[in-house]
Structure 1
Amino acid sequence: MNVMEVLLSLPQKDLQNLLETMKVDSNVRSRQHCIELIIRSLSNHEERYNRYRRFSKGEQQLVTQMSFDLRDCVNRYELQGFLTPGERAGFSNTLRALENGGWFFKIGRDTWTMPEELKQRVRKWLLAIIEEERVIIPGDQDASLSIIDDLYTFMDCVEEKGFILTKQKTLRKNDLAKLQQSFTVRESLPEEQWRFGYGRHFYHYPNRFSLLYDVCFDEGWIRESNSLEVDSPRWIEAQKLSVTSVLTRVLQTYLNQYRRAIPKLPFIFKLLYHLLKTSNTAVSEEGIIKTVSPFIEPYYYDDVEAIIRERILTMLRDMHVFHIVQIGNEQFYCLSALQRKSTPFSIKNFS
């Protein structure tokens, strides 16, 4: 809905209340004049941009996520779901402040909308805010697909060797170490005292391999018995999939597994895609951390920065969604060549 449609749907009393809370002349009697004054206030881009920059964490979460939502309106429970758990106690006050400021408009009994013009403006502001963290980069990038190579290597090894599993249904350490030697990207076995929340056997397996294992298990290509076995009919069909289809399944598995610890991960993925979609540019790691931090809360021993660096940026790089550019001592991120060329990963299905 655009601004005019929203305002025309509101009763006169609501229009006058809005004028009052927005600190505009509230003694206006004409409906048309009320609407003109509200539109004039909403069109003050500089004032509204400065207000957006001063938002509380809860206000920023609601407005930014709503700006990417394709629906005309959402109900109270859907809005509350936009907030991270730590911000939900203040939901009613946050929502009231956004209504009073002319960001959200209540239409119907228990639904709210954000005008399309305002959604577009917020998305532009996000690009403007990150602009100072952006650099120009060459167009050519490494087009390797090591995660696909290693997935096929893993499946071949399981098919050939049928690894015996432990009582916890995990690979034995010596088998896991030998597997790592076969991969294009090799990882050390985890030594942390705590590892949970990011996958089926995350406690036992290193990060990248844990995701590969979860993809194969969730797709039904492998099954756990006394030994690890290949489901031959399913794997035969899987080998007919395109590279794009396999990468999409990897991303789907990642979002499903990691959103348990990072509830806003699907939105964060959409946000990062929006920030990095400009051709031949990359955004600094620090700039990404600053932009994404409001949508993340610590998860046990993982603080916010660790989650962004290790659980999001590194994993998206390993899945060939992002490409890293090193400039001096600083890392910059851009969309990978494959992602930019064909946009293989549908983000509209993740919410």
Structure 2
Amino acid sequence: MNLSDMLGYADIQQLSRIADVYRCECNGHSKNDLIQSILSTVSRNDVFEAQISSMKLEDLRFLNSLLFEARNSFSLEDLLARVQHSRFGEEIIKPELDPPKKTKRSKKKTEAVEKQLSPREMIAKFKHHGWLFNGFSGPSRYLFQVPNDLKTRFRDTLARRFAADLQYTDEPPIYRDEQMLIHDDITHLLHYTYHNEIQLTADGSMYKRFTLQLLDRFGVQEELPAKGAWRFGYGRHFNQYPNRFSFVYDYCYHAKYINENQTLLTVTGPGEERMNSRPSSEAEQIYRYWLKLYKGPITHLLSLVHWINTLAVEWVTVESLRTVLVPFIKPYFYDDANTILEQRIMAMMVHLGLLRLGEHPIYGAVVRMTKAGRAVVAGVSLEESGSIVVH
């Protein structure tokens, strides 16, 4: 539903609160006057821009987590979790054994921290702005929705703001485009497994010599992880395999193309079928699986991919994209926000054939969405489900 529909179902108390936020001058006892005044005010671009300009970073992160979801309704528990995920700890003040004397500046900073809204207060704030509405009857009373037309306006407004800070360039003389390579390497993995007796270690990973032989057959060359490197969170054997190889292996395991039979890796019946024929929708299936696998460590992955899809229609520098998107990326253990953006998101999007990566003689690293990538990201909606937990 759009904002006008949701206002029509709202009670006069909520309408009065929304009208107060936007300083509407109208008859507060007339529901019709309240609705017309709110719609008239919110429709003004200057008012809408001012509201976004006044939003704190954690407000924007929370809003951002709602803008690209396929589903329309959110439970209170889900919203509370999203508010928590939007707080990256910047506001935390570490206690000191012998704290210095409070200056006016430090006192102001402490007061600002103390005034941070609780998750429930944040949700109430969004309701008072008319950005979130409760359902109106039955079980939907306990669910929340964002008006569809406001979603579109938020996306368009933020896209303009982000684009204004980006550096766009002409086409670089050289660039990488890995479209179709991941499909070929799925076939290589299955063929090699089918024709060789691949032995597994006690933790279920392949012995090093098998991994190296497979890497030699792949279209994208990778090095084995450094010994003792901290690697976890992005796949079943991520600590043993390189990034892309680990993902290809996990996808084949998820699709039931391969099976770990205690000490041996074998190809299943569906795997043999895949060796002979690639499904027409495989690009979408791989993309969908990547989102589900990586959205555990990267809580805002879906929105970040959509922003890259929106902002990288033309060649754009990685550096300027970093400036815009890094504030929306929560560090994950030993992966800082920059590492997540470049290695876990953009590099994987290149491997999936969604993104091209080039080297510009003046501006350095640049990226641009592929035509197929834009179609996949725009056309595939990730159904709301729990992120994949790998064992």
The question of a shared fold, defined as TM-score above 0.5 by the shorter chain, is answered with yes
Distance verdict in 2 for CA 1:290–1:243, change over 3 Å: farther
Match of 1:90 among 114, 118, 133: 118
- 2:129 matched to 1:101? yes
* Aligned with residue 325 of structure 1, among 355, 358, 365: 358
Query: 1:117 pairs with 134, 149, 164, which one?
Result: 149
Question: Does the aligned pair in 2 maintain the 1:84–1:263 contact within 8 Å?
Answer: no
Give the RMSD, CA atoms, in angstroms: 2.9
Q: 1:256: Cα distance to partner?
A: 2.5
Distance in 2, matches of 1:104 and 1:238, equals 45
Verify: 1:234 aligned to 2:270, yes or no. Answer: yes
Q: Is the 8 A contact 1:59 1:98 kept in 2?
A: no
User: Is the counterpart of residue 145 in structure 1 residue 180 in structure 2?
Assistant: yes
Aligned mates of 1:160, 1:71 — CA distance in 2: 44
Counterpart CA distance in 2 for 1:322 and 1:273 is: 9
1:40 Cα shift? 2.3
C-alpha displacement of 1:162: 1.5
Cα contact 2:64–2:303 (8 A) shared by 1: no
- Partner residue, 1:7: 7
Query: Once the 2 structures are TM-superposed, how far is the Cα of residue 122 of structure 1 from its aligned partner?
Result: 0.9
Q: Once the 2 structures are TM-superposed, how far is the Cα of residue 337 of structure 1 from its aligned partner?
A: 3.7
Q: Does 2:301 match 1:265?
A: yes
Q: CA deviation at 1:82?
A: 3.4
Query: Take 2:70 and 2:86, find their aligned partners in 1: how far apart are those partners?
Result: 25
| Partner SS, residue 102 of structure 1 | coil
Taking the TM superposition and a 5 Å limit, the aligned residue runs for 1:18-57 are: 18-25=18-25, 28-57=28-57
Q: Which residue of 2 aligns with 1:253?
A: 289
1:84·1:296 contact (CA, 8 Å) conserved in 2? no
* Whole-angstrom distance in 2 between the partners of 1:334 and 1:55: 29
| 1:154 and 2:182 matched | no
1:238-273 C-alpha deviation (Å, 9 max, x unpaired): 245546433233223322322221133234333433
Separation (CA, whole Å) in 2 of partners of 1:180 and 1:124:
43
Secondary structure of the structure 2 residue equivalent to 1:198:
coil
SS of 2:366's equivalent in the other structure is strand
Q: Partner amino acid for 2:368? A: C
Q: What amino acid sits opposite 2:245 in the alignment? A: F
1 CA distance for matches of 2:85 and 2:67?
20
What one-letter code is carried by the residue in structure 2 that aligns with 1:230? V
What letter corresponds to residue 347 of structure 2 in structure 1?
T
Seen in structure 2, the aligned counterparts of structure 1 residues 144 and 124 have a Cα distance that, compared at 3 Å, is closer
CA contact (8 A) 2:3 2:147 kept: yes
Shift of 1:104: 2.5
Residues 107 and 113 in structure 1, CA contact (< 8 A), matched pair in contact too: yes
Please list every run of 5 or more consecutive structure 2 residues that lacks an aligned counterpart in the other structure.
89-116, 385-391
Give, in angstroms, the shift of residue 69 of structure 1.
3.8
The structure 1 residue matched to 2:158, chosen from 126, 129, 132, is 126
Note closer, same or farther for the CA distance 1:146–1:287 as it changes in structure 2 (3 Å cut). same
Deviates more, 1:163-172 or 1:3-12: 3-12
Q: What SS class does the counterpart of residue 333 from structure 2 fall into?
A: coil
Deviation at 1:36, TM superposition (A): 2.5
Residue 234 of structure 1 aligns to which amino acid in structure 2? P
- Give the TM-score of the pair, scaled to structure 2: 0.78
Q: Shift of residue 205 of structure 1?
A: 0.5
Shift of 1:237: 2.1
Q: Aligned partners of 1:131, 1:84: CA distance in 2, in Å?
A: 27
Question: Amino acid of the residue matched to residue 64 of structure 1?
Answer: N
* Alignment-mate amino acid for residue 125 of structure 1: T
CA contact (8 A) 1:67 1:118 kept: no
In the TM superposition, what is the alpha-carbon distance from 1:235 to its structure 2 partner? 1.7
- The CA deviation string for residues 165-217 of structure 1, in whole angstroms up to 9 with x for no partner, is 21222112223223222222111110152111110100010111001111111
- Taking the TM superposition and a 5 Å limit, the aligned residue runs for 1:288-299 are 288-299=321-332
For the 8 Å contact 2:176–2:357, the answer to whether it is kept is: no
Counterpart for residue 208 of structure 2: 173
The equivalent of 1:189 in structure 2 is 224
Aligned length: 346
Structure-1 residue corresponding to 2:311: 275
Matched residues in 1 for 2:188 and 2:276: separation? 16
Amino acid at match of 1:102: G
Cα pair distance change 1:300/1:162, threshold 3 Å: same
5+ residue gaps, structure 1: none
CA, structure 1 residues 286+113, in 2 after alignment: closer, same or farther (shift >3 Å)? same
Partners of 1:247 and 1:103 in 2: how far apart? 35
1:137/1:350 Cα in 2 relative to 1: closer, same or farther (>3 Å)?
A: farther
Aligned counterparts, 1:294-313, within 5 A: 294-313=327-346
Say which structure, 1 or 2, has more relative contact order (CA 8 Å, 6+ apart): 2
**What is the aligned partner in structure 1 of residue 114 from structure 2?**
none
Q: Contact 1:143–1:337 at 8 Å: present in 2 too?
A: no
